[in-house]
Amino acid sequence: MAPQRPQGADAFPNERAVPGGIVRPVESSGTRKSAEPAPLYAALDLGTNSCRMLIAQPRAGQFHVVDSFSKTVQLGIGLESSGRLSRASMGRTVQALRICQKKLETHGVNRMRLVATEACRRASNSRDFMRAIRRETGLTLEIIPPEEEARLAVVSCAPLVQRRTEQLLVVDIGGGSTELVWLDLTGVPQHDRPNALMRFHAGFKTHGDGPQARVVDWISVPLGVATLREQFGDVESDAARFALMSWYFEEQLSSFSPYNSDNPREGFQIIGTSGTITTVAASFLGLRRYDRTKVDGLTMTSGQIDTVIQDYLSLGPEGRRTDPRIGRDRHALIMSGAAILQALMRCWPTDRLSVADRGLREGLLYAQMSADGVLGDGPYR
């Protein structure tokens, strides 16, 4: 399947529940005044491999996570060969969504956006599946197009944009697809560059006044960690399979306009978001227990990334299965994700990657809160 692209030049983590709280502002007299709790928002991402949800409250330009959920459902198993979602994978997904529905009901959430991505975009029976989800759980999921998925990845990564960044590549490696967005920030003052990414509201059309980030190009490659692995599942050699996956993925980028930009230059930043990238970062740091505060915002060189990937290859399938840095839920997909990551680092005029432990759900939350004007006095108002 060919990558999906815009029609014109201008078209276009490991989870832990955190208790919520009520903010009680102080009056000028110094006495406390009761206030309504900040509204609750929810974002659910049903992907090719996982079902994940966040429930959060806006707080000073960011958000405070009240509850979360993550479950590997393997919705896309067999999709590459059959073109359909299997009965077993749909059953697993409905069970996970029932848990999400109970959490939403318990917290009384009424502002939410629940989306499905590549597996449901491609499956011939996805509309029937959406109706079954409504019938079984009461939840209404929206199958979003690749452009919207790419936009939300950009929004989620806005806090990690460096002030000196002039050219930005945001990469989101998913289970069934990989989104890449190239942005030119040269027309935006340095202090406003993170905020500029929050002005993309509908697709890549900017919203509001002020200097705007310009989308140079974007692409959605219908290959993610699950779909790429499935395509090369018949290759017996671990090393050969990895090399073939990496070069095959790179071939899919040949029409992306910034592809193979020649000279490394200052002011260029890549931000990568995915379970693969955060796992590689945790392995580089030697973390036996994942710590988001150490991973999110970390910068890694291409040499450091290659060292981790070579270590994974030397472990072999059985070694990766038991390596605590990788985890049992990710060991089967880590090499296809690493193949995509290595291909990306070969192509771009920089040898550094900023690691983002954030993605579609965070983008959904930021976008909803920004649209409602409830982000407060923080940096994204």
| Each residue's pLDDT tens digit, 215-237 | 888 999 999 999 999 999 899 99
The residue ranges of every structural domain in the chain are 41-145, 148-360
Sheet holding 214-221, edge to edge: 214-221, 178-184, 167-173, 268-273, 352-356, 299-301
Q: Which residue has the higher pLDDT, 87 or 208?
A: 87
How does pLDDT run across 305-353, given as a tens digit for each residue?
999 999 999 999 999 999 888 877 788 999 999 999 999 988 887 889 9
pLDDT interval class at 204 (50, 70, 90):
low
Instruction: Answer whether 370's CB lies under 8 Å from 198's CB.
Output: yes
The predicted structure's pLDDT at residue 262: 55
State the residue for tokens 């993925």.
249
Average pLDDT over residues 347-360: 88
What are the C-alpha distances in Å from 122 to residues 80, 83, 174, 201? 9, 7, 14, 25
Answer yes or no: same fold for 41-145 and 148-360: yes
Give all strands (DSSP E) within 208-280, no chain letters: 214-221, 268-273
DSSP 149-168: HHHHHHHHHGGG--TT-SEE
Quick one: pLDDT at residue 57? 95
CATH class of 148-360: alpha beta
146-157 and 360-372 helices cross at what angle (nearest 10)?
Answer: 80
Residue identified by tokens 């991973």 is: 295
pLDDT at 247 over 60: yes
The pLDDT tens digits of the residues spanning 142-159 come to 999 999 999 899 989 988
Structure confidence at residue 59 (pLDDT): 86
Q: Give the pLDDT band (50/70/90) at residue 62.
A: confident
Model pTM? 0.82
Q: Which top CATH class is 41-145?
A: alpha beta
